[in-house]
Structure 1
């Protein structure tokens, strides 16, 4: 509860600081004037792209659930997606969504190991597709990045390395339990020495049980090549929808001279950078990154308004709509222990 409260304070404080900066820079009247003159057709399309992102995520969850013979409707998968979006948005490194989703599935009589396997495999595919997506973009747009964003390239590479590390560890867990257990034992031993973990043996027994379940279920999924193809396709759609949003926001300011693919490439680049920011929703870093990277496309007096719209659609919508689903589930006794 203390961590949750602290994270929410960080989010609110970041929003207040940014809005204060936006108002002090151009004035409240100027900001309101810009928002009134927007082409709201493009804002609507931007919002629909965010909904597309959520729906694609729900479909991916549903495909993985069915591959392990879990009875879960698409609507239930959508609710779990929105709960995950909420908890991801209020925790550092987007780390809170999966524990909440596991608990949500367990309340529906889904085995913890099966639920963990579904979400872990989804994470592997997501990170894998994201890494491939990012590498392709960097290769295709290498000259553009070199000429315009060379100072940020190291941060983007660090983000890719972190994603690759997550993928490698989860893949290792799916194919070699012994090595994975050895790595986790080493980490837990260090954590116990610095008094972060108290009962190492108890934790190890639980980890070993979860590894067995994860290994067994991940093998079933990996053998189903068709499932991997489908979820990879929907993940690519999901990512593309997210990365196109800044371009649609750009068009809402009645501008059209920027290259569509360059803006999508910059959106991908920005995503690689904010991955390494250890704050809820990458607060502060996301806004600053957007300001510096997309400033080459937006006219300078529009960029602050563009950031506000982008963060509302891609971040605060996740908190707002996700909180509704979380409150409903909490009242029905589903997520109360996680919250």
Structure 2
């Protein structure tokens, strides 16, 4: 499927979701409640979005320094915004990586280091989200006691991230184990017919090469780039807290009280879930999930409007800027090539830098 078509599907789903959300939530009391919104706090929410873009850019810059590379702020902001676009057009927000790698490569960073930088950035976000969950569960148990389904989902998140953390440590300390496990999975997939025998050896070679390359580049962060890596982790935490503060800021702007930690817990569960939604950019689920989260803290009649406002500030603005960058820099055809080159590399078992 072409990038332009994927983007069109994303826009269609988003528009339908917004119409559905507003249609199901707005009533006569909505506009009366929103009429008392605090413009200063709304401006604060918008300022938080701008701040999180810069924090994300600084995080990229420090990760690059940890890998022995230097990036300018202007270049890195483009990397941040183009990630919004790539994530919006692909299932499970997986398309941001190839576009980020492309821009980093254009700015002199090798493919291996670019992949390591983008991978570590994503892992930092996931692990920080996972840390928010148990902390919030301990600090503010009332929300989980009130909504039992949140408690079970929170436990699932903690277990899932624990498994990912184990695999991450093993991939660094014992990469051979990962190779054996992956090869065993490939053989099993071949036996049940999901992978043709003629592609089995290619896939195994490509994966083994990528694991070796990943391991070599990840070691840069834990050896010569320790200080920069530690700084990137601090910036990642600041970026995530800033991002997650937009929602409670909007609730306060609408004149409602909110328990900050409870809001962070509910929001972290939503954000984690969105990584695994198969629609482009998690569209549809993101809007509906945002309404559900806002509905925990505000009347239903304003939850829909606030959810749309939150998505507009925190995501749609970044996607719009990222789309402008892609169309101006690559065109729709060039964007197709970026994604198709990544897919062809996997299918052919390519190992080139």
Same fold (TM over 0.5): yes
- The question of whether the paired residues in 2 share the 8 Å contact of 1:23 and 1:31 is answered with no
- The question of whether the paired residues in 2 share the 8 Å contact of 1:58 and 1:81 is answered with yes
- The question of whether the paired residues in 1 share the 8 Å contact of 2:101 and 2:114 is answered with yes
Cα distance in 2, alignment partners of residues 5 and 44 from structure 1 = 34
What residue is the counterpart of 1:219 in the other structure? Answer: 219
What residue is the counterpart of 2:15 in the other structure? Answer: 15
- The question of whether the paired residues in 1 share the 8 Å contact of 2:21 and 2:288 is answered with no
- The question of whether the paired residues in 1 share the 8 Å contact of 2:66 and 2:229 is answered with no
Alpha-carbon distance change, 259 to 197 in structure 1, aligned in 2, over 3 angstroms: farther
Cα distance in 1, alignment partners of residues 232 and 311 from structure 2 = 27
Report how far residue 99 of structure 1 moved.
1.7
Alpha-carbon distance change, 77 to 10 in structure 1, aligned in 2, over 3 angstroms: closer
Alpha-carbon distance change, 235 to 197 in structure 1, aligned in 2, over 3 angstroms: farther
Unaligned runs of 5+ in 1: none
What residue is the counterpart of 2:245 in the other structure? Answer: 244
Report how far residue 115 of structure 1 moved.
1.2
The 3-state SS of whatever aligns with 1:337 is helix
Residue 69 of structure 2 corresponds to residue 50 of structure 1: no
TM-score w.r.t. structure 2 length?
A: 0.83
Report how far residue 30 of structure 1 moved.
7.6
What residue is the counterpart of 1:304 in the other structure? Answer: 304
Report how far residue 12 of structure 1 moved.
1.8
The superposition leaves residues 44-69 of structure 1 with CA deviations (integer Å, 9 ceiling, x where unpaired) of 22122222222222111111111222
Cα distance in 1, alignment partners of residues 320 and 6 from structure 2 = 18
What residue is the counterpart of 1:171 in the other structure? Answer: 169
What residue is the counterpart of 1:323 in the other structure? Answer: 323
The 3-state SS of whatever aligns with 2:301 is coil
TM-score w.r.t. structure 1 length?
A: 0.86
Cα distance in 1, alignment partners of residues 309 and 107 from structure 2 = 37
Alpha-carbon distance change, 261 to 21 in structure 1, aligned in 2, over 3 angstroms: closer
1:159 maps to which of 138, 157, 160: 157
Count of residues in correspondence between the two structures? 336
The 3-state SS of whatever aligns with 2:92 is coil
Cα distance in 2, alignment partners of residues 273 and 109 from structure 1 = 34
